[in-house]
Structures are given as C-alpha cells and as structure tokens.
C-alpha cells in the first residue's frame, strides 16, 4: 500500500474535519486507504491470523445471548431451566421420579435428581472423564446417537448444563453412582480439579446434583425470582405426569417451599388454568395415547370467555408459535364438532359449517407431544416442524373426541351451544367491522380529530402517546417534539374489553379512535406492517384512576393486539411523583423511595419543607431575612399530568434523553392470562381475594 495513502487515512481519523464529523472522517479514511490499494493487494490485510477460534466454552461467555436469550432476568432463570430439564429428561426416560431445586444464600442454586447419574468413566474420544466432558464441552451428552441415552428429550443440542457451567463463576457437580459419590468443581467453565470420589452411599441411591453461582460479570440481574421459578416448575410438573418437583427457598429466615405432584397430567393443568373462569363444560376432556412412536396427550375445557387459551408443548418445551401438533389439533376439533353438529341437528342443512375460530372461542386446551427426534425452528424452539406429528395428533384426538361427545351428551350440547353463539357473534362482528373499519377504509378514513399527529411518516422513528384527559393532552401537545411524537387524548375510561365482543368494542368511540390512529386494523384484518408508530406509550396520572385506565388499555392491547405486546411496541410512561426544589436545585422524583433518599442527602426534616408559607409581610422584614438565610425547600406532589406545564412534561416524561419508560413484555403467558382474568373478568370472588391478598403492599392509595 502506498505510504501517502496510509498517512492520509491516519490523519483523517485522528484529526477529522469539524464540519464533516466523525462519520464523514471515517468514510474519507476508508476511501483514502482503498484508493491507495491495487486490486491484487486488497486481501493482504485479511489473513489466517485474523481468524479467531474460540475453544471449549469460550463461545458461550463471548456470546451468551445466543444460548440463553439474554443476560437479564430471563437468561438468569434459563440457567435453572437447563439444569432442571436434565432431571426431567431422566424422568421421561423412566429413570427418575423426583427433582429438587434449592435457592441458597449468596445467590447459589442447587438442582438435584434421582436419575442414573452422569457417567464418570473415561470417555474414549475426549480421553477425560465422561462427567468432565459433559460439563466442559458443547454438544456433548446422552441425547445423541442410539441406545443408552434418551428416547425422548427436551435438550437436543447437548449444550444445556455446559452453558450453565460456562456462565457460572463457580459450579460443583456431584454424581451418585455404584455406591460412590463423585464430584468436580469449576470456575467460569474450567475444572479446578479432576473428578474424584468424595464419599459413599447406598447402591440404589443414584442421581446428579448441580450447584452453581451465576457470574455477576455476565448477568445484569443475579437475584432469582421465587414466583417465576415456582410457576415454571409447576408447569413442568403438570406436563410430566407422576413426577415430584420440590422447591425450597433458603435465602432468608422466612424459608418457603412448594411440592408439586400431578397424577392427572395436563388435565390437572386445565383445571388450574380455569380456576377463576366460568365453566361451560363440566367434564375435562383428556386423552393420553401413543401412536407411531409419538405420545399424544391432550386436554381441553370450554369456558364462558370470548378468547381462547391454547398451549402447545413438545417434549415439555412450550412452542409459542405452535407447529404441526397444534395444526393437527385444530383440524380435528373443527372437523369432529361439525360432524357431530350435523348428525345431531345443531346445524341445519343449509347452514354453513362452524369455522376454526368459532370452535376455539372460550377454549382452554393443552396439546403435549413427546417424540424421539423433534425438529424445532431455531434454538428457541418456538415452533415444532415434524410433519409426522400432525396426523398422529389428529387421529388420536379425533377418535377420542368423537367418543367423548357421544358419552357426554350434556357437555356436547353445552360445547356446541357455545360454538354456535360464537358463530352468530362472528357474523355480527363482521358486519360491525365492515361498517366501522371495512377493508381499505383506513386509507380513506380521516384520522381522529383529537389526534395531534407527528410530521414524520416513518413509523420506525414515530411514537404515539395515549394521554388521559384533555388537560394532560393539552400540555403534551405543547411540550412534545412534533417531528416524531403524536398525542391522542382519551376522554374518560375506555371499555373493559375482557367482557366485550368485537362488535361492542367497535361501537366505543375511544377504542375506535385508537384503532384508526394505530393504522393496523383489528381482528381478521389486522396488519402489522401498517402500524403507524413504532412505540405506543400509555401516559396516565399517578393515581387510582390513572392506574385503572392503564389497566384497561393493557387489557385492550393484550387481548386484541398481542403481536404489539410480544414484539415490544407497547410502553408505559413514568411521570414523576414529586418535584423537589431547594434554592436553584430542582429534582424530579419518581417514587417515595427516591424522595426519602434525597431527604437524607440534603438532611431535610419536616420543619424544613415549605417554610416560606408561614411568612407574611406583616411579620416584618427582620423575620423574612432570617428565614431567607436557609435555602427554601419546596416539595410538590403531582396528582396528575395536567399539573405540569409543557416544559416540565417534556423534560421529565417525553424527552428521549431523560425520560423513563417501561416496556411491556410477557414472559409467562399463562400467568398473564390468569392475572387479566382475575382483575378484569366477570367473576367477583377471585378479584376480591386478589385485593385482600395484596392490599398491604399498596402504597399511596388515593381514596
């Protein structure tokens, strides 16, 4: 490369022209370098020395997100799931019946099973103990190859426990086999000693215990959430009929524990999911049968609700996007119910068949399959791809459903009555939708008059603030950045969509305005690509009414626009609760804890707050001068967004450089469904119990 070109490139990078900025300098530098290189020598700077080979578990520590999703709370808990899955795989193979999880002090976790125990003898390929090979090598385990491993397994890639080891600052594995206890310890995935015998036990006492400490250098969150672990392991106990899963929290003096054992399998899971629902079908349908080496387990029950709750699992892994097993279930359900309806006079000769949507309204169902070689789409295993699973599920489910309907005529009548009502509602909703939001109408329909739209037409940089009331809407409109921020004020509280059908929703002006403003349409005509704003931000007052409006909006989005929630488009603005001014210093505080901290920082007592309010002109200049020697302290509690002027609202809640926002996510769909049903559903008793349970944890309740 010519020396002049190199010199020019270095000069442009180290002394970039001010007007062109850093990006322009780098671009010019690249041009200078390329310009001075002939075509033959372009590859000279890229040699074998530039190729990095990450050995052992180094790739996991380098890119942890590829293996556990992220390094926040979800990824942290994924370590526990990986360790637990090994014990459940032993149970599904028939070699274990108990898995125990211990949350220990100092952030450690211990997972134990009574399976066969990881082999410890020398591995013929790695020339190390099989235990060390499994713990320190990716894609090593008993889930590959023929014989001696697993007929059915959730972990197919052989990366589970080795990933846990790689992302732990310390880990210890104990194996009970052949009357001996073997152990090995690791630091950041590397063994600190060889596998050795540390004790003896009974010959029939076998299993594996994994104890680990997640690496604080990797994870942004290192505290395990008790409820998250309990909910996940409860689900696993439902999906593995007959397994005992015990959970213990030893982190505080207030020790907690749960023990799960469900002989009823996924039928018990259905009863749990419908615990707070009005039931339309008294007997839970359940089948558990093997066909073509695929175990099919299905349970369902209809409720009075308008929505469907259907979860699909393959080898105990939740397939959020469904797959071949879900397709087979839906096809069989629609076909069999239509056949029964025709045969028994529920559908007249000239009436159209029930659609798949009709027969799934109000349905709560679990489809669980177990097979030897599942094919998932991606490491996240969100969708099952095995083509042979569909006919197996369809055949087993259809056969048993026909028998169920014949043997339970009362339940069959209630199910068909629910489906026919759904069909009538669908036709009414379609008529309403065609009237309000007919196909193509969004392009010609005027945007809501109260919407203050942004000037940008690029959805990726645009955001919509949904604001409570005209007062707050006025401040938001004046304080916003018109280039990319749109404001939609809502008058009053929107309809509770948990208890309303689509046709009733579309008759509500506030909901109609919101749907038109977003641009996506709703229901069958929903189009994600037509979304006009990348961020939809709920901004309500920090009081009871504001919380209620926020809950109504979240219910609306979760029930009718779940894609917006799952893809991270819904946010909650965090306006400040207090404004504290001491002299020229101004602090915006977002909760009571922040207020107490700054009081301690400034050593503020109750007597210091608002001293100027006690001073009047009649008290004389001497008294006033005496007071003014102490900096005045003013604490204002914001009861509503309308109390803030446009500048304050921009600085605290709308300026991307300083604002705080919460992204709405759904980590556990079943738990979210249950919570929305309790808070917003028709049943009063579960809501009353919820309020009584959590009443003591409520702060600053406005009455």
pLDDT at site 13: 39
pLDDT at 2 over 70: no
Calpha distance 161→72 (Å, rounded):
19
Report which of residues 159 and 75 the model is more confident about. Answer: 75
Confidence (pLDDT) at 413: 95
Q: Per-residue pLDDT averaged across 516-545, rounded?
A: 88
- In the prediction, which pLDDT does 365 show? 97
Q: How confident is the model at residue 157 (pLDDT cuts 50, 70, 90)?
A: very low
Q: Residue 261: is its pLDDT beyond 80?
A: yes
Rounded mean pLDDT, 184-210? 95
Give start and end residues of each alpha helix (H) in 72-191: 73-92, 130-136, 160-166
As a whole-number percent, the residues of the chain with pLDDT over 90 amount to 47
* CB contact set of 93 (below 8 Å; sequence gap of 6+): 115, 150, 151, 152, 153
The whole-angstrom separation of Cα 60 and Cα 10 is 36
Comparing 28-32, 45-49, 63-67, 331-335, the range with the smallest average pLDDT is 28-32
How much is the average pLDDT of 295-303? 96
- Residue 612: per-residue pLDDT: 40
For the chain, the 3-state helix, strand and coil shares in percent, each to the nearest 5, are: 45, 20, 35
Q: At residue 77, does pLDDT exceed 90?
A: yes
Q: Which of 305, 541, 651, 673 is catalytic?
A: 541
With a cut of 70, say whether residue 584 has pLDDT above it.
yes
Residue 349 has pLDDT above 80, yes or no: yes
Sign, CA torsion 331/336/337/339: positive
> In this predicted model, what pLDDT tens digit does every residue of 650-673 receive, in sequence order?
999 999 998 989 998 876 655 666
Q: Which residues contact residue 63 at a Cβ distance below 8 angstroms, ignoring those fewer than 6 apart?
A: none
Q: Measure the N-to-C terminal CA separation of the chain; round to a whole number of Å.
A: 77
| 468 marked ligand binding residue | yes
pLDDT, position 389: 96
Active-site position among 545, 594, 608, 643: 545
**Average pLDDT of 629-647?**
78
Range of 110-119, 494-503, 579-588 with top mean pLDDT: 110-119
Say whether 85 is catalytic.
Answer: no
Sign, Cα dihedral of 394, 395, 400, 403:
positive
pLDDT of residue 447: 76
Is 541 in the active site?
yes
Rg (CA), the chain: 31
pTM as predicted? 0.67
Query: What local confidence, expressed as pLDDT, does residue 634 receive?
Result: 84
Annotated catalytic, 608? no
- Cα–Cα distance between 113 and 85 in angstroms, integer? 10
Q: DSSP 3-state assignment of 504? A: helix
pLDDT, average across residues 258-278: 92
Quick one: pLDDT band at residue 492, thresholds 50, 70, 90? confident
Residue 205 annotated in active site: no
How far is the CA of 278 from the CAs of 22, 275, 363, 555, 676, in angstroms? 63, 9, 12, 19, 14
In whole angstroms, what is the distance from residue 265 CA to residue 298 CA? 10
| Dist CA 633 CA 655 (whole Å) | 26
- Looking at per-residue pLDDT, the higher value among 592 and 24 belongs to 592
Mean pLDDT of the chain: 82
- Least confident range from 127-141, 423-437, 548-562: namely 423-437
Mean pLDDT within 520-524 = 82
Helix (H) or strand (E) holding 568: none
Q: Which of 22-36, 402-416, 547-561 has the highest mean pLDDT?
A: 402-416
By residue count, the chain amounts to 703
Look at residue 41 and tell me whether its pLDDT is greater than 70.
no
Q: Is the pLDDT of residue 620 over 50?
A: no
pLDDT tens track for 352-384: 999 999 999 999 999 999 998 889 876 557 889
Query: What are the pLDDT digits (tens) for 377-388?
Result: 765 578 899 999
Q: Reply yes or no on whether the pLDDT at 149 is more than 60.
A: no
Given this model, what pLDDT does residue 607 score?
A: 65
Domains contained in the chain, CATH given: 3-41 (no CATH), 59-260 (3.30.565.10), 286-434 (3.30.230.10), 441-575+663-697 (3.40.50.670)
CA–CA gap between residue 215 and residue 68 (Å, rounded) = 14
pLDDT band at 141 (very low <50, low <70, confident <90, very high): low
Of 97, 225, 543, 643, the catalytic one is: 543
What's the token pair of residue 418?
């629910």
User: Between residues 432 and 469, which one has the greater pLDDT?
Assistant: 469
Mean pLDDT of 308-327: 92
Lowest pLDDT segment from 315-329, 427-441, 582-596: 427-441
- For the ranges 29-33, 190-194, 471-475, 568-572, which has the lowest average pLDDT? 29-33
Q: Name the 3-class secondary structure at 42.
A: helix
Report how far apart, in Å, the C-alpha atoms of 39 and of each of 1, 9, 34, 237 are. 11, 18, 9, 64
pLDDT for residue 145 is more than 50? no
- Lowest average pLDDT, out of 50-54, 322-326, 569-573, 579-583, goes to 50-54
pLDDT at 338 over 90: yes
Among 468, 503, 674, 677, the one annotated catalytic: 468
Contact 57, 162 (CB under 8 A): yes
Segment 482-490 mean pLDDT: 94
């Amino acid at each position: 490369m010519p020396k002049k070109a190199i010199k020019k490139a270095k000069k442009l990078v180290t002394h970039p022209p001010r007007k062109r900025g850093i990006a322009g300098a780098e671009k010019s530098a690249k041009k200078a370098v390329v310009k001075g290189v002939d075509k033959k020598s372009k590859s000279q700077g890229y040699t074998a020395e530039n190729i990095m080979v990450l050995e052992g578990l180094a790739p996991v520590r380098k890119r942890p997100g590829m293996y556990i999703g992220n390094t926040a709370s979800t990824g942290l808990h994924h370590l526990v799931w990986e360790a637990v899955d090994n014990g459940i795989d032993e149970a599904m193979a028939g070699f274990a019946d108990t898995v125990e999880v211990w949350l220990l002090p100092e952030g450690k976790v211990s997972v134990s099973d009574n399976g066969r125990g990881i082999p410890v003898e020398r591995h013929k390929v790695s020339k190390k103990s099989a235990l060390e090979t499994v713990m320190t090598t990716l894609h090593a385990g008993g889930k590959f190859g023929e014989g001696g491993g697993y007929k059915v397994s959730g972990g197919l890639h052989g990366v589970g426990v080795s990933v846990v080891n790689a992302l732990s600052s310390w880990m210890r594995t104990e194996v009970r086999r052949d009357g001996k206890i073997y152990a090995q310890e690791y630091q950041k995935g590397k063994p600190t000693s060889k596998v050795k015998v540390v004790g003896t036990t009974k010959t029939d006492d076998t299993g594996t215990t994994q104890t680990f400490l997640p690496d604080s250098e990797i994870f942004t969150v290192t505290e395990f959430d008790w409820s998250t672990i309990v909910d996940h392991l409860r689900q696993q106990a439902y999906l593995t009929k007959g397994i005992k899963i015990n959970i213990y929290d030893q982190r505080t003096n207030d020790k907690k524990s749960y023990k799960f054992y469900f002989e009823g399998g996924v039928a018990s899971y259905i009863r749990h999911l419908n615990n707070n629902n009005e039931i339309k079908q008294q007997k839970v349908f359940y089948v558990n049968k093997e066909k073509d080496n695929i175990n099919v387990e299905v349970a369902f029950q209809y409720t009075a609700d308008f929505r469907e709750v259907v979860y699909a699992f393959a080898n105990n892994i939740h397939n959020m996007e469904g797959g071949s097993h879900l397709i087979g279930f839906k096809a069989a359900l629609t076909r069999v119910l239509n056949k029964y309806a025709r045969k028994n006079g529920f559908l007249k000769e000239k009436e159209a068949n029930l659609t798949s949507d009709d027969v799934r309204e109000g349905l709560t169902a679990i489809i669980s399959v177990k097979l030897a070689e599942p094919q998932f789409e991606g490491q996240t295993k969100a969708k099952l791809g095995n083509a042979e699973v569909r006919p197996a599920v369809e055949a087993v489910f259809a056969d048993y459903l026909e028998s169920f309907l014949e043997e339970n005529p009362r339940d069959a009548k209630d199910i068909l009555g629910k489906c026919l009502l759904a069909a009538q509602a669908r036709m009414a909703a379609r008529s309403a939708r065609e009237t309000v939001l007919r196909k193509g109408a969004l392009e010609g329909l005027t945007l809501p008059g109260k919407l203050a739209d942004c000037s940008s037409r690029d959805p990726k940089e645009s955001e919509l603030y949904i604001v409570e009331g005209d007062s707050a809407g006025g401040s938001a409109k004046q304080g916003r950045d018109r280039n990319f921020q749109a404001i939609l004020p809502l008058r009053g509280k929107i309809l509770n969509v948990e208890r309303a059908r689509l046709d009733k929703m579309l008759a509500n002006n506030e909901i109609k305005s919101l749907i038109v403003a977003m641009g996506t349409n709703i229901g069958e005509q929903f189009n994600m690509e037509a979304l006009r704003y990348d961020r939809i931000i709920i901004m309500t007052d920090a009081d009871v009414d504001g919380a209620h409006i926020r809950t109504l909006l979240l219910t609306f989005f979760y029930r009718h626009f779940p894609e917006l929630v799952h893809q991270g488009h819904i946010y909650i603005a965090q306006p400040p609760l207090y404004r504290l001014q001491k002299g020229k210093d101004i602090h915006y505080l977002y909760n009571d804890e922040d207020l107490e901290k700054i009081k301690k920082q400034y050593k503020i007592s109750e007597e210091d707050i608002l001293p100027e309010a006690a001073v009047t002109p009649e008290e004389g200049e001497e008294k006033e001068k005496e007071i003014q020697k102490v900096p005045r302290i003013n604490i204002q509690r914001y009861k509503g967004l309308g109390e803030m002027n446009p500048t304050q609202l921009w600085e605290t809640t709308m300026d991307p450089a300083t604002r705080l926002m919460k992204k709405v996510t759904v980590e556990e769909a079943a738990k979210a469904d249950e919570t929305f049903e309790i808070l917003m559903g028709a049943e009063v008793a579960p809501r009353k119990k919820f309020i009584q349970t959590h009443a003591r944890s409520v702060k600053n309740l406005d009455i």
